[in-house]
């Protein structure tokens, strides 16, 4: 009898720039064509979009401001000195990161996710699969960094403990002083944003990198599903400006639909989204579904063998 499966524990496919992987973390592995820069023969949607935006002036000015914020950001840790080599274990483990950009494990009664991700790091270290000199701690995303995607009104809404409680789906958070919510919950989330942004740079430099943390339900104007910041969207905007990348593929293998990044990049020809998720659970976002380039909807109880077969078929489509 095959193993019963809820599609949360899928293993990411090899050779793609992936934004959702095991442990709800972010894994980036760029194919050679993307590592070299733009794809030969492909038009540049970004150039066309900038040309059309210049007609009105305001969108072009917004793009200029976004680029300035990205260039002045410190999230890429340009002075980082990390080893290039990796000692491979005798048997390949499920995760073999050369670099892991991880946030701090800030333990709080309601912050279950940061604790979980800290346990993942501890498990890999205890098992000898991850060495401490291959761990890079990212910086916290600043307000200027977050304004690349989010509006001031959205960021101001996070100063309400009631709003944060809605986003993280923990009613008790509404009773806490917002200063405590900022320090014990939103600060770790902002560190995870820094990890997602940094992981793309390290992947391009070293082959691949994993950020243990992050989320995919938050869009530019709305948080939800325990996701307060749109770290995937920020990561991609940084990559477009600083890493000479013209196109990105998001392979989202979390059990839930990744409605946040789907709404942020809906209609953007530079971003291709493959989302494979359980159609019978949160978030049921039918608006975001329209922006998925290739969606694979599964049912609860899907067997591992059936899941992997569906994944192989979907990846074959993306490569064709």
Q: Which residues are catalytically annotated?
A: 217
CA distance 295 to 37: 27
Backbone torsions φ then ψ of 65, nearest 5 degrees: -65, -40
Sign of CA dihedral 105, 205, 146, 24: negative
Q: Look up residue 143 and give its two tokens.
A: 């307000």
Residue 210 · residue 134 · CB < 8 Å: no
Radius of gyration of the chain from its Cα atoms, rounded to whole angstroms: 19
CA distance 302 to 280: 12
**What are the distances in angstroms from CA 312 to CA 130, 152, 179, 296, 316?**
28, 41, 46, 11, 6
CA distance 137 to 211: 10
Q: What is the DSSP letter of 184?
A: I
| Full DSSP string of 261-280 | HHHHTTT-TTEEEEEEEETT
3-state secondary structure of 6: coil
Contacts of 85 (CB under 8 A, 6+ apart): none
Single out the residue of 224, 221, 244, 225 nearest to residue 233, CA to CA.
221
Residue 285 · residue 222 · CB < 8 Å: no
CA distance 318 to 108: 41
């Amino acid at each position: 009898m095959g193993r019963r499966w809820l599609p949360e524990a899928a293993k990411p496919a090899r050779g793609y720039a992936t934004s959702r992987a095991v442990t709800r973390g972010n894994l980036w592995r760029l194919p050679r064509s993307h590592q070299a820069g733009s794809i030969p023969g492909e038009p540049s949607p970004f150039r066309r979009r900038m040309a059309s935006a210049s007609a009105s002036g305001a969108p072009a000015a917004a793009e200029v401001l976004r680029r300035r914020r990205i260039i002045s950001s410190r999230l890429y840790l340009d002075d980082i000195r990390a080893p290039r080599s990796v000692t491979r274990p005798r048997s390949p483990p499920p995760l073999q990161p050369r670099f892991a950009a991880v946030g701090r494990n800030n333990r709080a009664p309601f912050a279950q996710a940061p604790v979980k991700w800290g346990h993942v790091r501890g498990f890999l270290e205890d098992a000898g699969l991850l060495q401490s000199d291959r761990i890079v701690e990212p910086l916290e995303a600043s307000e200027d960094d977050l304004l690349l995607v989010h509006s001031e009104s959205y960021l101001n809404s996070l100063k309400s403990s009631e709003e944060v409680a809605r986003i993280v789906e923990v009613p008790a958070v509404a009773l806490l002083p917002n200063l405590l919510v900022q320090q014990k919950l939103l600060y770790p989330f902002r560190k995870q944003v820094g990890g997602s942004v940094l992981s793309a740079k390290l992947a391009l430099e070293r082959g691949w990198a994993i950020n243990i943390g992050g989320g995919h339900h938050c869009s530019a104007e709305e948080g939800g599903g325990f996701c307060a910041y749109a770290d995937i969207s920020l990561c991609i905007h940084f990559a477009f400006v600083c890493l000479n990348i013209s196109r990105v593929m998001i392979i989202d293998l979390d059990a839930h639909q990744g409605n946040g990044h789907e709404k942020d990049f809906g209609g953007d020809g530079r971003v291709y989204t493959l989302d494979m998720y359980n159609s019978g659970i949160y978030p049921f976002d039918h608006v975001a579904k329209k922006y998925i380039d290739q969606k694979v909807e599964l049912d609860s109880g899907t067997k591992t063998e059936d899941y992997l077969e569906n994944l192989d078929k979907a990846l074959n489509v993306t490569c064709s």
